Amino acid sequence: MFQTYSIIDWNGYQARLYSIADEPTCQWVESDPYLNPKSKYGFGDIQYWLKYCAFATLASCANPVTGWSTGWITPTPIKFPVVYIPIKPIYTKYGFVVIGLSICGIYMFPWVLLVNLTTGYTTPFGDPTILIKKQIEGLKKTISEQLLNLKRKAIKPLLDKTKEEIEVMETEIKELKTEQKGYIGTKPQKLIIDLNKIDMGIQENPNYVNEYFDWMEKNKNISEKIASAQISLWKKETTAMVLQESYTYGTAIKGITGVTDKFEQMQVLIGKQIDKLVSMLSEIDNILAVLPIALAPETANFAITIKNPKPIIKIKDNLEDMIDATALNGVVEKFRLKSEDLTSSKYLNKLMFSVVNDKIYRKALSTARIKIIIQDAFPHYSSLSLSNIPWIMFLYKDFVTTGARTYGFPGNLPMPN
């Protein structure tokens, strides 16, 4: 609704002009960390991880059933809690990496936490798709320059229709990606443990090759569907962008269905380049998805250890699914100011208990937080406390349980999945 910049012509190009103001001097007084974006320490600060790992160690101590690992092996294996000591946090473009030391009894081993907060695959060490990404950047620049030459015309009905089609396509792509996540979760394991032959320890899966190729075929099919849907969506979004500029600024241009030959040819060329761009983007995801070192979207992971030889050891996925939308909507609707309220005889009373009264509204959100926040793997610094139940449950059920299968003496209980 509000733009913080204006569009100007600069050296033959359209550019965004941002107005830079003085640093605001007002102080944020909101005490609820979920309503206050400012934090004393963030993911790149060692202070954050010292406090985080202190609670992770406490969670391990409090969970002897699944949070302890073998820390002594002679003459009889004995389990101990796993102590997590952070040494160096690194903030990255895709999330963050934390390097530290794990101590279980007398056994010590480096631990590495890898968190991907993006919606795409990525690799923490090295990027085999760097050449493709450079080509994509060059193609993006070419497309942008050509779009600047495509003049606009106001076609409101067609713009509304295009927006409706985009919403339908986005829903379809979201459903396809959800389906793809299901396939990814069923990836066959090369190393397995036969519960009937547990004394033999970890063994190779005899059906791994067939299972893997079947899994690859399913993943390929759903990836092709997503790529095809993205191509159609990208074309519609490009058309909508051109129509929106035409409708907003009014520079004359023949309708999209009746443009002059010159602009029609340019649009065809842009469409082909967009097809190529989306194809290259899909190629990146397809390449990364099958790499053993790839971090899946929105996941927290440990790195490989002697005890757990998998290159990437998933702790938790769907990290961004934090909110119970039903609970949140219940609070929002309660404070929503409806049109009929404006003519009500109790207008002032309704206004007092509506979203207009920011203090009461925020208090209601804070009170309902325990119902609204259902998952919080890496919370605000001030929320690193025992009162943050979703976070404590993540540490207790996911973090230290996976840690126990990853750290401690190799070949001893608990065994990796």
Average pLDDT for the chain: 80
The structural domains of the chain, with segments of one domain joined by +, span: 26-126+293-321+375-417, 129-290, 323-372
The answer, yes or no, to whether residue 134 has pLDDT greater than 80, is no
pLDDT of residue 1: 36
Q: 307 with 289: CB under 8 angstroms?
A: no
Q: Which of 97, 146, 87 lies closest to 123, judged by CA?
A: 97
Mean pLDDT of the 168-179 span: 87
Beta bridge partners of 90: 97
pLDDT category, 384, cuts 50, 70, 90? very high
The answer, yes or no, to whether residue 258 has pLDDT greater than 50, is no
pLDDT of residue 300: 97
- At position 173, the amino acid (one-letter code) is I
- Token pair of 343, please? 């003519």
Contacts of 123 (CB under 8 A, 6+ apart): 288, 291, 293, 294, 295
Q: What is the pLDDT of residues 305-343, one digit of tens each?
A: 999 999 999 999 999 889 898 998 998 888 888 878 777
Percent share of the chain, pLDDT over 90: 33
Q: Give phi and psi for 108, each to the nearest 5.
A: -120, 145
Tell which wins on pLDDT, 412 or 223. 412
Rounded to whole angstroms, how far apart are CA atoms 321 and 394? 13
Q: Which of 94, 86, 158 lies closest to 122, judged by CA?
A: 94
Rounded to whole angstroms, how far apart are CA atoms 48 and 33? 14
